[in-house]
Amino acid sequence: MTPKDIFVRVRMAPEINDNAEVKYSDYNLIAALNSVLSIVYNTLSSSSNDLLTQEKELTLTDGRAALPSDFLSVVNVTAGNYVLKPQSKSNDVDEYSYRIRGNYLYSGNSTVTLEYKPYFTDIDYDTTGTELILPNYFSELLKKYVVIVLQGGINKNDSTIVQQVTDDVYKLTAGREYSRIDIQPVWRV
């Protein structure tokens, strides 16, 4: 699923009805999609869900390696068969530990594998044909909220819509590798 795929669906939506591409420019659609994707990415990044998890092998020089440009948070750091432990700044790192300071990862290993969650980088005109990290089943949710944005129903101050997007993302991903479990108490008499 690419942003262009979503734009086609948005333009075909009855509320938008812009198959001739005269009501909304691609830049309008890009801005609306960026608003929605920012909320979706923030929601997924703060959950235990693994949908956004990326993996990158880092080669350390003099005990450090630059973090990926889209690095947000660590999921796991491994070297060989070991899961490395995060080290506080008061202790030195060794081959069984790592530390992140600024834009660098420090460790006593020559290479490590970093599993991480990326932050959302805005889509621009040149990247509308690039596949999104999100699975295809997000397409309807993205279309729905891009339509709402285009109709003026969302802005940074509209917490109701932001909460609605967040709730829909959790519903869509609940149970995926036990990312969220809602337990309802059963009352017996």
Phi, psi of 135 (to 5 degrees): -70, 160
Rounded CA-CA distance 167/172 in Å is 9
- The model's pLDDT over 78-101, given as tens digits with 9 standing for 90+, comes to 998 899 999 888 889 999 999 999
pLDDT at 179: 36
pTM, entire model? 0.70
Mean pLDDT across the chain: 84
- The model's pLDDT over 95-126, given as tens digits with 9 standing for 90+, comes to 999 999 989 999 999 999 999 988 888 889 89
How many Cα atoms sit within 13 Å of 124 on the Cβ side?
2
When pLDDT is averaged across residues 33-60 and rounded to a whole number, the result is 87
Range list of β-strands (E), the chain = 54-59, 64-66, 71-79, 82-83, 85-86, 97-101, 104-107, 111-118
Write out the two tokens for 149.
């944005």
Tell me the CA distances in angstroms from 169 to 124, 137, 139, one per residue in order. Answer: 23, 11, 12
Nearest-5° Cα angle at 158, 153 to 160: 95
pLDDT at 183: 41
